[in-house]
A = this chain, B = another copy of it.
């Protein structure tokens, strides 16, 4: 994942794009909002306008470099497209996100779409619950 990926997407290789891509690549939190990216870059001394963050993230999404998720909470989160597709599990208390992939579910989805005359293009499976952290369990 480097500047060539930006170029291959038909986009000019600019400092904002390089910095945003680097952050998505190196940040410990894989799933970040546009606001998150903005603030994290600010913390690193990179003053990139929020409008640019939104623009670039959308361009990266179109280029297939980044995936956008509509978790609960009223704002989108983005993640760098590494390996391949996967689904998510979100802790309703601490916000922790775990990733998983299940071939049984993936297969059934394709079958179900077909049964309904749909051509599946994409899908979103999110499990909401309480993660393993004791503080996130009910009654804590």
Q: Which residues of A contact B (CB under 8 A)?
A: 70-72, 89, 91-92, 98, 100, 102, 104-105, 108-109, 112-113, 116-132, 137-138
Q: Chain B residues near A122 (CB, 8 Å)?
A: 127-129
- How many copies of this chain sit in the oligomeric assembly? 2
**B108/A102 in contact, CB under 8 A:** yes
In chain B, what residue has the closest Cβ to A92? B121
**A118/B98 in contact, CB under 8 A:** yes
**B108/A91 in contact, CB under 8 A:** no
Closest approach, in angstroms, between the C-beta of A113 and any C-beta of chain B?
Answer: 5
**B127/A126 in contact, CB under 8 A:** no
Say yes or no: A132-B120 contact (C-beta < 8 A), given A70-B70, A105-B108, A112-B127: no
Closest approach, in angstroms, between the C-beta of A104 and any C-beta of chain B?
Answer: 5
Q: Chain B residues near A118 (CB, 8 Å)?
A: 89, 91, 98, 127, 129-132
**A127/B113 in contact, CB under 8 A:** yes
Q: Chain B residues near A89 (CB, 8 Å)?
A: 112-113, 116, 118
**B129/A100 in contact, CB under 8 A:** no
